[in-house]
Amino acid sequence: MSELSEAYASHVVPTYGRFDLDIESGAGCRVRDFEGREYLDFGAGIAVCSLGHSHPEVTAAVADQASRLVHCSNLYRTAPQAQLAQRLVEITGPGKAFFCNSGAEANEGLIKLARRFGSATSRHRILTFTNSFHGRTLACIAATGQEKVKKDFGPLPEGFAHLPFNDLEAVRAAVDEKTIAILVEPIQGEGGIHPATPEFLRGLRELCDDRGMLLLFDEVQCGLGRTGDWCGWRSIGEGVEPDGVSWAKGIANGFPLGSFWVSSKKFDERGPLCDLLGPGSHGTTYGGNPVCCAASLKVLEIIERDGLLAKSSELGNALAAALKSLESPLIQEIRDIGLMVGVELSPDFPKTKRTPALEVVNRAMAAGLLLIPSGERVIRFLPPLNVDSREIDEAVQKFAAVLKGVSTAA
């Protein structure tokens, strides 16, 4: 047992199932443990470090901002928050941005937006999807379409129903007089990399328009470049635009920042939707903190400057193609969109003590490759957007060797 694992066991609330790895530092696509052993990190902190670890320009932007102002609360204005809001509006469309500290908080804000919007017509019900993941606050676990996150935490906020993903008929049938919004991940991440179909997103938009409901996209995992577009939903198809969007993860390369955008559309006499949450209605002390906003501005600048949207799309295709070319009988399916690549293992995966996903991820870690499990049988490859083709080759080779090792051991 390492010193760190003893300290965690004694002093850290054991909410996380952690891997047996103590990380000392990271640079680019690699992290190191305390013995100096290197790991190729194809998880990027669960789709967070879009520019890799300790990106020097992000570090410099943070140091510069921290040397001038770290925090002043939302009682006052700061330049990084204003600039970042402007950038997010440019990326997304006419509207306004709110800042918080995590993905769950960003979704919580969208849920509050929907509730306030619905208060005028006594509607509060929000439709979400089976296998979705929206975060760990009470409202977000109520919104999440997975029973395991809700267990023992009831009573939960009511008014959420989970429908089968990509099943428009089921959604149409579920809308009732109390329904006010649909919250959907355009690409389900924790659920195992499942993209929505273009027809599904289009159908949801039409349904929301017909019934005066809000269409809300949770882009916490798939947003801001990972799919090869700033907006994950636009990688799926053009022509569908949401009324609200949540982000976190890749927004600031590891600095804790979440955000939601709200459209300036006018639905009723209360005015633009983006002004519905007025003074005193919502907030958080650290939200839009100047250091995190400075980090985010630098991240978005570098993604644009270095053409990383196009690159992540190209390299994602190359990664998925290389994984498909392994033609391993242990792989059932590979689903990919940009640098969100999910490998679903076969139901005939040899019996092991751990789930198939955990077996493979642990073996990959032992071989110097970090990957992210998703449920029992899916493994996610979520490298930084500035990964290069040699790193992709190296990861695929290591992964192939791991699968071979499993077949040989069986």
Ligand X SMILES: Cc1ncc(COP(=O)(O)O)c(C=O)c1O
Using the rule CB under 6 A, is 31 a contact of ligand X? no
- Write out the DSSP string of 101-164: SSHHHHHHHHHHHHHHHHHTTT--EEEEEBT----SSHHHHHHSB-GGGTTT-PSPPS-EEEE-
- Which among 253, 192, 188 has a CA at the least distance from the CA of 222? 188
Using the rule CB under 6 A, is 255 a contact of ligand X? no
Using the rule CB under 6 A, is 233 a contact of ligand X? no
Give the residue with the Cβ less far from ligand X, 236 or 402.
Answer: 236
Among 108, 218, 336, 359, binds ligand X (CB under 6 A): 218
Number of residues that bind ligand X (CB under 6 A): 14
- With a CB cutoff of 8 Å and minimum separation 6, the contacts of 276 are 113, 116, 117, 262, 270
**Rounded least distance, CB 200 to ligand X, Å:** 17
Binding pattern to ligand X, positions 185-214, x when CB under 6 A?
x---xx------------------------
Distances (CA, A) of 244 to 112, 241, 264, 296: 11, 9, 10, 20
CB atoms within 10 A of CB 257: 27
Among 61, 85, 104, 337, binds ligand X (CB under 6 A): 104
Binding pattern to ligand X, positions 142-181, x when CB under 6 A?
----------------------------------------
Q: Are 218 and 102 in contact (CB under 8 A)?
A: no
Using the rule CB under 6 A, is 344 a contact of ligand X? no
Among 248, 297, 308, 320, binds ligand X (CB under 6 A): 248
- Burial zone of 57 (CB within 10 Å; 0-12 exposed, 13-18 middle, 19+ buried): middle
**Rounded least distance, CB 221 to ligand X, Å:** 4
Among 45, 109, 135, 288, binds ligand X (CB under 6 A): 135
Using the rule CB under 6 A, is 243 a contact of ligand X? no
- Burial zone of 304 (CB within 10 Å; 0-12 exposed, 13-18 middle, 19+ buried): middle
Among 85, 111, 220, 292, binds ligand X (CB under 6 A): 220
Terminal-residue alpha carbon distance, the chain: 28
Phi/psi at 29 (nearest 5 deg)? Answer: -90, 10
- With a CB cutoff of 8 Å and minimum separation 6, the contacts of 202 are 237, 239, 240
Taking CB under 6 A as the binding criterion, the range among 201-209, 215-223, 261-269, 372-380 that sits at the site for ligand X is 215-223
Give the residue with the Cβ less far from ligand X, 224 or 248.
Answer: 248
Give the residue with the Cβ less far from ligand X, 135 or 373.
Answer: 135
Using the rule CB under 6 A, is 103 a contact of ligand X? yes
Give the residue with the Cβ less far from ligand X, 218 or 229.
Answer: 218
Residues contributing to the site for ligand X (CB under 6 A): 102-104, 107, 133-135, 185, 189-190, 218, 220-221, 248
